[in-house]
Amino acid sequence: MNIRLFLTGLAIWAAATCVLRAVGQWLLHPHNVAGTILLFLTSLPLMAWVVRRLCKGAHLPHDQWLSGAVSFALPTLLLDTFSSALFPFVFPNIAPEMAGVFGGWILWCCAGAFLGALVPGSRRA
């Protein structure tokens, strides 16, 4: 496990949780199907890009990127399990029926992180 990427993932998880507690009702709204689809469509490539940048910044050899992505995503996978289970308590401003969408979104973001580590990108000199 890469502790630097784990701590970065933990910091991003904490910041994102605070943002969702503050403005999540506008991001996850039960009657905004188009907004939910847009959120999903932008999140996967964004997370892939973030992980690629973090792995490059940590100077990881490419064969260690998947391990780096797991280190980065681990705080989300562990902690958002409780956020999903206790959704109305953790996110009182978001409609409770959005808990499933939230859980799916978290999985989608982690999939993006893993794809960012697995899919080869452009090679720049």
Place of tokens 């902690």: 79
What per-residue confidence (pLDDT) applies to 125?
39
Q: What is the pTM of this model?
A: 0.90
For the chain, give every domain's residue range. 3-20+35-118
Residues 39 and 102: beta-carbon distance below 8 Å:
no
Place of tokens 């933990």: 10
What per-residue confidence (pLDDT) applies to 120?
77
Token reading at 44? 């996967």
pLDDT digits (tens, 9 = 90+) for 48-67: 999 999 999 999 999 999 99
